[in-house]
Amino acid sequence: MKSEPTDFSIDDLEKAPKQTIDWYGIRNYQARNFMRDDMSLGDLAFFYHSNCKTPGIVGIMTVSKLAYPDRLQFIKDHKYFDSKSPPDNPRWLNVDVKFVKKTKLLELKDIRNYAELKDMRILQRGNRLSITPVSPEEWHFIYSLIA
């Protein structure tokens, strides 16, 4: 799960009340569907800093609440407002995530160098999704590098 550290960082999650936040602002249907259809309570996720000097995995969090409507889509003048999203059938969802731990940085440039990770969705040409699935094999390999 990617976030720009200037918007919300692993440090922000660690300092958040109860070390929990709603993973807000997802405005891509495929990423929304991953949250809605594929995430379960207790699932672990890598926290990935994107669009920064050194993008990469910086920590681990867990899904602490299943998908529910993102409240920001209904707040007029908010950057995540969506006038076409009706309250009775909202388009956009978020999950809550809870801080687990910071890890040593695994930079994107290093992720690209491991043959074991060559099929990761985050590495696919043109990928702009802020949420992508990670296979169990990819998870275990990455975890062995950062734990």
| Domain containing residue 27: CATH number | 3.10.590.10
Burial class (CB in 10 A: 0-12, 13-18, 19+), 25: middle
Domain extent at residue 6: 2-146
Number of domains in the chain: 1
pLDDT tens profile 80-124: 999 999 999 999 999 999 999 999 999 999 999 999 999 999 998
Average pLDDT, the chain: 96
Q: In this predicted structure, what is the pLDDT of residue 6?
A: 96
Tokens of 143: 């975890």
Looking at residue 128, its pLDDT comes to 82
pLDDT of residue 125: 86
pLDDT band with cut points at 50, 70 and 90 for residue 19: very high
| Phi, psi of 121, deg, nearest 5 | -60, -35
pLDDT surpassing 90 at residue 126: no
Neighbours of 46 (CB within 10 A): 22
CA torsion sign for 34, 35, 36, 38 is: positive
Q: What is the pLDDT of residue 76?
A: 96
For residue 64, is pLDDT > 90? yes
**pLDDT value, residue 127:** 83
pLDDT for residue 46 is more than 90: yes
Q: Has residue 24 got a pLDDT over 90?
A: yes
